[in-house]
Chains A and B, each alone.
Chain A
């Protein structure tokens, strides 16, 4: 009887079959027809995300790749319960993002692009604060924080105020803060923004480590190399839509190109062309 118990498993509601087969990976993120439309007073309704459907399982890094303004942040904010979708639904570990936001928030750790950190709070206080908000027992919280600070090599900045930290340090605190309640799902929104090569590399290593521990990670980026190195599956987003989805190999095979950057540019070029044609057709129709 071989059961791989990963650190994130205690939060899983899945029932494990005591079988000789390793357990099937549990579905962690499920987005179905997600759409988000903003009302802009001048320009009329603006579609940020349209008909987004994807799934991600435990032990997987799901990459959202897309240029700036593709709708990645909006999609992740819906998953993080910050925004409510205009239509469609999203579930995290079986909990609905719209109707059970409090439960969803216990399941996720959210790391935003800004690596937000309170200026007048030390690294230790910041992580402790979020641990307390998750109602973790003081003793357990302390132990977990000691471990996290060791693992992320943060002991040096333990008592440094946020205002005095570099972007890299802030990003580390953000990861520690997002992991303090040991959530099964981690959401990284353009987390390597503004980081130098060394720090970015160490962040990617951390993400990989987390994946190996069985966490389900959703990782958005506009940098292809990061996605290539890290993600088990990738969705390419543009103008709020997913243009293609699959593993790196699948995408390469489908678009018959070894260079992933070519795949990406090709997809976006095709979509732009399609949109331009559609707009022209609509114009002709109006004129006629």
Chain B
């Protein structure tokens, strides 16, 4: 990789893009124009709200004129001045007072349709009478005992329609009518010699004790990352299309590829250009928004009025956080756009690819805006969303929370960046991508072709797809809530969570590979010896697994509630023990082993050495247990063991046997902890445990002995131990089994 060449390509592309008016317009000029234009539109709207003069028809008010002691609603042909909060506002409402009659009402309603008036307030006949009756009743009640029923009320009606003017007038007049009504109430109470305080014995005062900037920070932390990242995405995409598809279209790519610059260097230069534009676009938008924001914030604060907490500009620290996060996001978006754009033959085709990219990225950016979505381990592992959530936490000054998840978010983001960059480079190394002129691609034909040519065991890509599918289904299933205190809810939860693993696995097994037997390491007949070894290993691994949990518990405690739940499930009398064993030992053993030791491990082994493939499958196995970090680590540890057994024995059955027995034994030990502790000489084996989820721990000598036994058993795991080679039928394995004679020898041992 020659840095000079990258710089050369980058300089050329930058110059090229800066000479392109379209790009400059979309990236630089448009944001500079769009926010001020939005600002102007907004301020015009607020001006309209404040200065619009409404016309209101009042029908039938004349009946109130003679009523004594009722405060005036209308005064001198307008709404009474004292009903308004600020003087002079009464002039913004013109009143047409009409004598009450059905005919007049109809006429005014028609008038509203034609826009002559914005609102019709109708006082039906008998309204004044009703007010008078109430007043009378109040007076008499203070003297006489008992209460009399009041006649059915003929209430005033306000008519409005869908026009903005009408709706605005409605909201303004409603406020006036409410104030007028409370004045009437007050007068009535005075007449009845009842203290006014009786209607409001107390007044609830609410105080916001969040730090001064807290509310602001919460507002900006939702808005800013979203806007900045969307700008970074759009800013990356247009130059990427021009740099790849545009260059292909003009035929210059062919020329460039015959220059001594390597493909990686060309991609590097182009990627730098796209990143520059992505960051540039985000910064332009941010700056333009800041300038316009100053104006809008003033307008907004003018509308909300005093009393409300005024909105201020976001703090410089939050902007700084955003800028730090912008770089990896820009790299990720740029590399993805570049790889996607390199698929396109022409600029026009390139534009089509923007839509799918947006459809994938937008939900991930919107997700953190939903209420209830918080930064935790599972959400921090979602690309883009994790970063947005991390930014929200940092901007709200929840630095401790942010610091906890910096590592997973950074790992996921950097991982995505690396994958995207590698994808972009690999696209440039593919002839079929660079010279696609002859190929006529058709999805259906391709799907048919891919199905017909599916390999016997999965590719790395298929394994990655399965992992993605499993995580996605788990993510979706997260939104389903189960009442796990009820047996039925618990059963449903287990079934759903296991389906999230089993269904994608079976789907991929059917569609992506031609040999299910080799993919899922299925033996023709059950190798009983291997099953027994699996079970024996599960027994001796109990103390070691428990020791691991006890070791992890102080560092990674289970979330509150989960420990009690784990304990309760074991001893729950509502579900028969056999059922619990079936749900928590047998079912997970089958589903998870088929997925992780079957499909995923086979797929990872396509490209990785067995060691790395085992590590990889163990990590994903751990991540598929997202309830608690402690569980994730334990599962990953057992995943290593299971992967080793699968690779060495080339069979899934010992893994299933191990998994099933391990889970089952753990469950039984918790359920019968008391009876076990009462056994004679139990103290030689068991001791009370410090960890919440473990009721019965093991003594150190037992742990050491079992550790030795486990090593011995693992040593024995191997193809030579179980059956002859033809059971596996796999000729592709590098670590080929011992010759048959030696194998037979070993079996006898």
Contacts and interface: CB of A to CB of B under 8 A. Distances in A.
A82 to B, nearest CB: 6
Contacts of A84: 431
Contacts of A129: 8, 12
A125 B15 CA distance: 11
Contact of A177 (B8, B255, B435, B446): B255
Nearest to A187: B258
Interface stretch (B105-113, B246-254, B352-360, B684-692): B246-254
Contacts of B8: 129, 132-133
A121 B252 CA distance: 12
B5 A117 contact: no
Contacts of B438: 38
Given A82-B254, A116-B250, A116-B252, A106 B260 contact: yes
A41 interface: yes
A110 B260 contact: no
Q: Is the interface of B mostly helix, strand, loop or mixed?
A: helix
Interface string A264-287: 000000000000000000000000
A261 to B, nearest CB: 29
Interface in B483-532: none
A80 B250 contact: no
Given A110-B255, A133-B8, A105 B260 contact: yes
Contact of B250 (A108, A110, A118, A177): A118
Interface in A119-167: 119-121, 125, 129-130, 132-135
A47 to B, nearest CB: 13
Contact of A121 (B4, B16, B260, B442): B16
A42 interface: yes
13 contacts: A77-B435, A80-B258, A82-B257, A82-B258, A82-B434, A102-B262, A105-B258, A110-B254, A112-B254, A116-B255, A117-B252, A120-B20, A174-B255
Contact of A42 (B15, B261, B445): B445
B435 A133 contact: no
A114 interface: yes
Interface in B1-44: 4-5, 8, 12, 15-16, 19-20
Nearest to B260: A105
Contact of A112 (B4, B16, B255, B449): B255
Nearest to A42: B445
Contact of B260 (A120, A133, A177): A133
Contacts of B257: 81-82
B479 interface: no
B439 interface: yes
A38 B262 CA distance: 24
A83 interface: yes
Interface in B219-269: 250-255, 257-262
B182 interface: no
A5 to B, nearest CB: 25
Contacts of A125: 15
A44 to B, nearest CB: 10
A41 B252 contact: no
A83 B438 CA distance: 14
Interface centre among B253, B259, B439, B446 (most CB of A within 10 A): B259
B261 A110 contact: no
Contacts of A118: 16, 250, 252
Contacts of A120: 15-16, 19-20
B735 interface: no
A196 interface: no
Contacts of A116: 250-255
B114 interface: no
A19 interface: no
A82 B440 contact: no
Q: Which 9 A-B pairs rank lowest in CB-CB distance, beginning with the nearest?
A: A114-B251, A116-B251, A120-B19, A110-B258, A116-B252, A133-B259, A41-B449, A105-B260, A80-B258
A105 B5 CA distance: 14
Interface residues of B, number: 31
A38 B16 CA distance: 34
B326 to A, nearest CB: 27
A133 B251 contact: no
B34 to A, nearest CB: 25
A40 interface: yes
Contact of A81 (B19, B258, B434, B440): B258
A198 to B, nearest CB: 23
Contacts of A80: 258
A81 B250 CA distance: 20
B5 to A, nearest CB: 6
B16 A40 contact: no
Nearest to B431: A83
Contacts of B435: 77, 82-83
A134 B260 contact: yes
A119 B449 CA distance: 39
Interface in A74-120: 77, 80-84, 102, 105-106, 108, 110, 112, 114-120
Contacts of B252: 116-118
B251 A112 contact: yes
Interface string A161-182: 0000000000000100100000
Contacts of B441: 41
Nearest to B16: A120
A41 B259 contact: no
A102 B260 contact: yes
A129 B7 CA distance: 11
A110 B260 CA distance: 12
B259 A134 contact: yes
A41 B262 CA distance: 30
B721 to A, nearest CB: 43
A192 B16 CA distance: 28
B258 A41 contact: no
Contacts of B445: 41-42
A125 B14 CA distance: 13
B440 A42 contact: yes
Contacts of B431: 82-84
Contacts of B260: 102, 105-106, 133-135
Nearest to A46: B438
Contacts of B440: 42
Given A41-B449, A116-B252, A108 B258 contact: yes
Nearest to A80: B258
Interface centre among A81, A82, A115, A125 (most CB of B within 10 A): A82
Contacts of B261: 133
B361 to A, nearest CB: 29
A117 B259 CA distance: 14
A116 B440 CA distance: 24
Contact of A41 (B5, B255, B442): B442
Contacts of A135: 4, 260
A132 B440 CA distance: 37
Given A77-B254, A133-B8, 12 more contacts: A40-B439, A41-B449, A83-B431, A102-B260, A110-B255, A110-B258, A116-B250, A116-B253, A117-B252, A118-B16, A125-B15, A129-B8
B345 to A, nearest CB: 14
Contacts of B434: 82
B231 to A, nearest CB: 24
Nearest to A40: B439
B432 to A, nearest CB: 8
A165 to B, nearest CB: 12
A49 to B, nearest CB: 13
Contacts of A174: 255
Contacts of B254: 77, 82, 110, 112, 114, 116
A102 B262 CA distance: 7
Interface string B413-449: 0000000000000000001001100111110011001
B637 to A, nearest CB: 44
B14 to A, nearest CB: 11
Contacts of B250: 114, 116-119
Contacts of B19: 120
Nearest to A111: B255
Nearest to B262: A102
